Amino acid sequence: MKNMTLEGKIAVVTGGSRGIGRAVCLRLAGMGATVVVNYVSRPDAAESTVAEIISNGGKGAAYQFDVSSSDQVQSAFKQILADFGHIDILVNNAGITRDGLVAMMKEQAWDEVIDTNLKGAFHCIKAVSRPMMKQRWGRIVSIASVIGFAGNAGQANYAAAKAGMVGLTRSVARELASRGVTVNGVAPGYIDTDMTKELPPEVTEKIKAEIPMNSLGTVEDVAAAVAYLVSDESRYVTGQFIHVNGGMFMG
Ligand code: NDP
């Protein structure tokens, strides 16, 4: 595609150290962006992502901050703006699970998931929205989930956070559209990462049986959708979600 270059753009990817976030970092760096690889607890993983970006001829740096902390996000984005001069792309990818049936779910499990997966996206969007509006160009992409659309027993907290991300995305898309800033999301199905490795093998097999394509997706499948949404090719697309799920949910 002709306008898929990101030369000169600065991209921040939350949770860029592992899994889907790592693949997004590598993909965006491969398109020419300078990538800020955010992590919270695994500097080794973040540094390895940065090392791979650099060995592929790209540019990137690791930044530690907890997306659930308003103070940490504010000071990190201030620092990123000071270091690079602008932020053009934000990918809200950081996410966790704390699964359990709602009748047994501890309030802490609810709060941690909402604070990281939903409030974290709010903090980061808030931090970039003014600078992006001023520069009249920006791309915000949030990684939601099929679970936010379909629901899932044992994941009420996660589903609520991801469904919340849909409302957040569509509202902010309306707020920023006139300033050249698009706000979209990607809703992956089941993707092979550390997060899904926690599932017992029999559960993974059951999930596969419900996927028309009969296999889990790869992190590159998700990164490809993000690549389109952050490029100039998608300039007239805002408030939308691309479902990357092998056909398991057709929203
Ligand atoms: P992983 O568990 O493999 O990686 C999670 C990433 O998020 C890590 O980089 C981790 O950093 C980071 N992270 C976690 N908490 C925070 C925090 N508070 N602040 C900053 N960074 C944080 O997850 P996946 O790659 O599987 O998932 C990525 C996103 O995609 C999530 O939002 C998830 O909900 C979503 N998703 C995943 C699916 C799947 O099947 N895997 C399906 C649908 C959606 P660190 O390395 O420092 O721990």
Q: What is the pLDDT of residues 114-137, one digit of tens each?
A: 999 999 999 999 999 999 999 999
pLDDT band at 45 (very low <50, low <70, confident <90, very high): very high
When pLDDT is averaged across residues 140-152 and rounded to a whole number, the result is 98
Which of 24, 38, 40, 117 is the pocket-test mutation for ligand 1 (most atoms within 8 Å of CB)?
A: 40
Using CA atoms, how far apart are residues 77 and 225, in angstroms rounded to an integer? 25
Segment 173-178 mean pLDDT: 98
The H helix count followed by the E strand count for the chain is: 10, 7
Q: How far apart are CA 247 and CA 250, in angstroms?
A: 6
Q: How far apart are CA 136 and CA 220, in angstroms?
A: 29
Contact between residue 65 and residue 40 where contact means Cβ atoms under 8 Å apart: yes
Residue 1's pLDDT band, with cuts at 50, 70 and 90, is low
Average pLDDT score over residue span 153-178: 98
Query: In one letter, which amino acid is 53?
Result: I
d(CA 139, CA 122): 15
Name all residues whose Cβ lies below 6 A of ligand 1.
Answer: 14-15, 17-21, 38-42, 45, 66-68, 93-96, 116-117, 143, 145, 188, 190-191, 193-196
Range of weakest confidence among 23-37, 96-110, 192-206: 192-206
Q: How confident is the model at residue 251 (pLDDT cuts 50, 70, 90)?
A: confident
Structure tokens at 243: 């479902």
Taking only the tens place, the pLDDT of each residue in 227-238 is 999 999 999 999
Distance CA 123, CA 70 (A): 6
In this prediction, residues 185-199 reach a mean pLDDT of 93
**In DSSP terms, which residues pair with 111 in a beta bridge?**
none
User: What pTM value is reported for the model?
Assistant: 0.98
What is the CB neighbour count within 10 angstroms for residue 88? 22
Residue 2 reports pLDDT greater than 80: no
Number of Cβ within a 10 Å radius of residue 204 = 15
User: Distance from the CA of 167 to the center of ligand 1, in angstroms?
Assistant: 20
Confidence of residue 165 (pLDDT cuts 50, 70, 90): very high
Tokens at 248, concatenated: 């398991």
Residue 24, pLDDT above cutoff 90: yes
Mean of the pLDDT values across residues 19-39? 98
Question: Which percentage of the chain shows pLDDT scores above 70?
Answer: 99
Residue 78 has pLDDT above 80, yes or no: yes
Residue 3 has pLDDT above 80, yes or no: no
Q: Which residue carries 């308003």 as its tokens?
A: 70
With H, G, I as helix, E, B as strand and everything else as coil, classify residue 68. Answer: coil
Token look-up 């559960």 returns 203
Instruction: Count the neighbouring beta carbons within 10 Å of the beta carbon of residue 79.
Output: 13
Q: Compute the distance from residue 14 Cα to the ligand 1 centre, in Å.
A: 8
Tokens of 131: 């600078």
User: To the nearest whole number, what is the mean pLDDT of the chain?
Assistant: 97
DSSP 34: E
- Residue 67: CB atoms within 10 A of its CB come to 25
Average pLDDT over residues 53-66: 98
Query: Would the pLDDT of 196 be above 70?
Result: yes
Which of 19, 17, 13 has the alpha carbon at shortest distance from 195?
A: 19
